Amino acid sequence: MASWREVRCRCGRGIWVQPEVRAIQCSTCHSVTQLHSLVDIARGANRIIHGFQQLLRQHHEQPPRRLLEPLPSPFGKKRAVLCGLNYKGKSYSLKGCISDAKSMRSFLVQQMSFPIDSILMLTEDEASPQRIPTKRNIRKAMRWLVEGNRTKDSLVFHFSGHGSQQKDYNGDEIDGQDEALCPLDHETEGKIIDDEINRILVRPLVHGAKLHAVIDACNSGTVLDLPFVCRMERNGCYKWEDQRSVRAYKGTDGGAAYCFSACDDDGTSGYTPVFTGKNTGAMTYSFIKGVKTAGPAPSYGHLLNLMCSAIREAQSRLIFDGDYTSSDASAEPLLTSTEEFDVYATKFVL
């Protein structure tokens, strides 16, 4: 009896059977139960294990599938992030911002010798979900731009789109307002405020690395929260304003950051067909034209004066569209920096 085994039928009745029996019929419910020996069970288990081992080998032999398109390697002497947002389909849509980003890319590649593979474009026209200028993607792109930055690196951040202001909650703003950039999904995800932009783009810059930002947006004067503001007068004279905060350090880790903004913190930017016959961001166009006109390595002062002159010329023709009105005639490009310097003795080099 020791070699026999008990089998439970569907009705719950226990039936004792010999090991070699493969099927048995219950005398109570008349159902037939198929039986398997321990050898059969072991063989089945071995087949399952063998199949699983084959799947594991196939998985390791095949290259891993990428769920998202990888960003280009950040390790290069020259690299840039260019953002152009038209906000298509919105009541606050803009014209020409995507074209601004494309113009900046052509300028950097053709005039400034930036490798095209080192330029990350974020616009609504991009096919990759990673290249749409959402808040998450812009943040990710900014981190990519400064990742592993080294001495002699030249980094460029360009943004053409909406800018804004909101209440300053940490007390580091003289006017009580934080400046902000508006990503494509700012209505649901929020804006990117200057405190965060400074923390991501400016603070990690090491000694010898340079960042130049070109911000073609309203309320963009100190959107990088750089501590020194250059006030350029029409006669070419200038003075620096020290806007350092005692509450927070806004400098770098030894590097340098410069920002050309379309207007002051309380000002507005605009786009116009004056320059090219098509809607173009006035700030973006004047920056590119200024560098081309000034020739190799102009001074910051010379470049800023050329940009201001181009904007004044367009404003005087009074055919601006969008944000510009006759009351905005005083809106001119602004230069901010991590340090004071002689703008006429210091060369602008990308």
- So which residues are the catalytic ones? 162, 218
Torsion of CA 173, 97, 116, 146, to 10 degrees: 10
Q: Which of 215, 211, 233, 224 is nearest to 283 (CA)?
A: 215
Distance CA 254, CA 204 (A): 9
Query: Is residue 258 within 8 Å of residue 212, measured between CB atoms?
Result: yes
Q: Which of 110, 52, 121 is nearest to 80 (CA)?
A: 121
Q: Which of 333, 53, 309 is nearest to 216 (CA)?
A: 333
What are the residues whose beta carbons fall under 8 Å from the beta carbon of 325, sequence distance 6 or more?
none
Q: Which of 275, 266, 156 is nearest to 212 (CA)?
A: 156
Let me know how many helices (H) and strands (E) the chain has, helices first. Answer: 7, 17
Distance CA 69, CA 78 (A): 21
* Burial (CB count within 10 angstroms: exposed 0-12, middle 13-18, buried 19+), residue 27: exposed
